[in-house]
Amino acid sequence: MSEPDLFVVCKNCSSEVSPYVTECPYCGQRVRKRAPKIERGEPVPPKAPRRARTSLPRLKRGEIPGIAAETRPYGTLALIVLALAAMAVYAADEVTVVDNAVLAGPIDGEYWKLVTTSFVHLDHFGYAFVALTAVGVFGTLLERRFGLPFAVATFLLAGAGGAAFALALDSLPIVVGANGPALGLLCAWLVDDWLARRRGNDRENDLLGVYVFAAVLLLLSVAEPDASILAAVGGGAVGTVIGAIASPFRP
């Protein structure tokens, strides 16, 4: 294989120019009719096709590039709003709320009270504040981890399960408020964290505050006469089962 000349000399200005040009860049004299063919060594791989640029939506206020924005816990907020609305209705008409929504004594076929009694706190504002704060905290955590339907279903099932547990062990139960559903949400979130750690996915959550919340809810059930400790234990048990069932489906 012949090696190409490193340069050629322009006959007009005697300048050394590239052998791959046809005109002298210094004087414009035509050096050759056409440039020599470039001998290629190894074949050059074809260029990869250029990917089409994806158009991303504009960032929202407070959103950080590369980090998904946290969704608003609409389901948890709706549960709290319903509980606050029940308190407002109770303030206007106590008898109607107690007769139609509170589980106090035999159920007599009014099975909807197993659910509705979790939203009624009568005039116990301190109890309502603590219980609904726990619902807000752990309902939000569950909703962002598993989704809105899961958080709402856990609240309703824990509330109904806790009320049914109290009804099964006490012939004249008084079940008022969201201590059972709150403990159910807490236990579902906590059990998922425990099981994730056993699978090797330590989320490094500070669980001390969770244990304090659980202790406060249990003690509140003892201190407040209308807050059933049986409903709290039953709600926590239901939440534990739900968290254990759902956890394997979460990385």
| Residue 227, number of CB atoms within 10 A of its CB | 25
Q: What ranges do the domains of the chain cover?
A: 74-249
pLDDT tens-digit map of 106-140: 888 899 999 999 999 998 999 999 999 999 999 99
Residue 174, strand partner residues = 104
User: 74-249: which CATH topology?
Assistant: Rhomboid-like fold (1.20.1540)
The answer for residues whose C-beta is within 8 angstroms of residue 137's C-beta and 6 or more apart is: 213
Q: Which residues of the chain have pLDDT under 70?
A: 1-6, 11-14, 26-31, 33-70, 251
- How do beta strands 8-9 and 16-17 pair? antiparallel
What one-character-per-residue DSSP string does 93-162 give? -HHHHHHHH-EES--TT-TTHHHHGGG--TT-HHHHHHHHHHHHHHHHHHHHHH-HHHHHHHHHHHHHHH
* pTM summary value: 0.72
pLDDT tens-digit map of 3-12: 556 677 776 5
Q: Which two tokens stand for residue 173?
A: 């139960």
